[in-house]
């Protein structure tokens, strides 16, 4: 798009201000946004970790034991704790935003935002319960 206004050939020098490299520190909302974007790296790590676990299990018991020992290493432990915090942050902020994207109508009435958020949390709890049941009781 041309930036020169159509009404005149000449216009005074506009002052163009470049956003600061640290623009994401200017507001709390920007920082929380950047943190959410950053969390994708940790979520990717979780996926890789899970795939490594699956590979270890498929290779037999000794391989699985090796994987468990490696998982107990302080570096891996700390990394996984940090990852868990990022994943929770991602999920919570995402569920908070979900009602903006999902506008659900029921019998001609728009469902309240809190209900959309609550159903997301409900699904999360249900999925967690299922996994726990499979691990512990199943």
Partner 1 sequence: MGDKITLQVTRYRPEEESSATVQEYEVPCPKDWVVLDGLNYIKDRLDGSLTYRWSCRMGICGSCGMTVNGEPKLTCETFLSEYGHGPVKVEPLRNFPVIRDLVVEIGDFMRKLVSVKPWIIRNKEKLLSDGEYLQTPDELDEYKQFGMCINCMLCYSACPIYGLEPGFIGPAAIALAQRYNLDSRDEGSAERLEVLSEHDGIWGCTFVGECTEVCPKHVDPAGAIQRYKLTAALDNLKSFVIPKSAR
Q: What is the CA radius of gyration of the chain?
A: 24
CA 100 – CA 21 distance, rounded (Å): 29
**The token pair that represents 6 in the structure block:** 């159509």
For partner 1, the closer CB: 29 or 114: 29
CB of 22 to partner 1, least distance (A): 11
| String of contacts with partner 1 for each residue 96-115, x by CB under 8 A | -x--xxxx----x-------
Is 121 among the residues that bind partner 1 (CB under 8 A)? Answer: no
Straight-line distance from the first to the last Cα atom of the chain, in angstroms, rounded to the nearest whole number: 61
For partner 1, the closer CB: 29 or 75: 29
Cβ count near 70 (within 10 Å): 12
Which residue stretch of 11-19, 50-58, 59-67, 83-91 sits at the interface with partner 1 (rule: CB under 8 A)? 11-19
- Please count the residues of this chain forming the interface with partner 1, following the rule CB under 8 A: 25
| 42, 87 Cβ separation under 8 angstroms | yes
For partner 1, the closer CB: 12 or 137: 12
For partner 1, the closer CB: 68 or 97: 97
CA 35 – CA 13 distance, rounded (Å): 37
CA 117 – CA 93 distance, rounded (Å): 10
Give me the residues that bind partner 1 (CB under 8 A), please: 1, 3, 5, 11-17, 19, 23-24, 26-27, 29-30, 33, 37, 97, 100-103, 108
């Amino acid at each position: 798009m041309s930036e020169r206004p159509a009404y005149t050939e000449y216009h005074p020098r506009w002052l163009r201000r470049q956003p600061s490299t640290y623009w994401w520190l200017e507001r709390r909302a920007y920082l929380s946004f950047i943190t959410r974007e950053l969390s994708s790296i940790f979520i990717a790590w979780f996926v890789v970790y899970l795939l490594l676990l699956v590979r270890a299990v498929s290779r037999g018991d000794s391989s699985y034991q090796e994987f468990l020992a490696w998982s107990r290493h302080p570096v891996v432990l700390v990394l996984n704790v940090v990852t868990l915090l990022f994943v929770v942050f991602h999920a919570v902020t995402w569920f908070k935003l979900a009602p903006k994207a999902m506008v659900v109508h029921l019998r001609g009435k728009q469902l309240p935002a809190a209900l959309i958020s609550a159903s997301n949390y409900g699904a999360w709890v249900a999925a967690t319960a299922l996994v726990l049941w499979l691990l512990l009781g199943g």
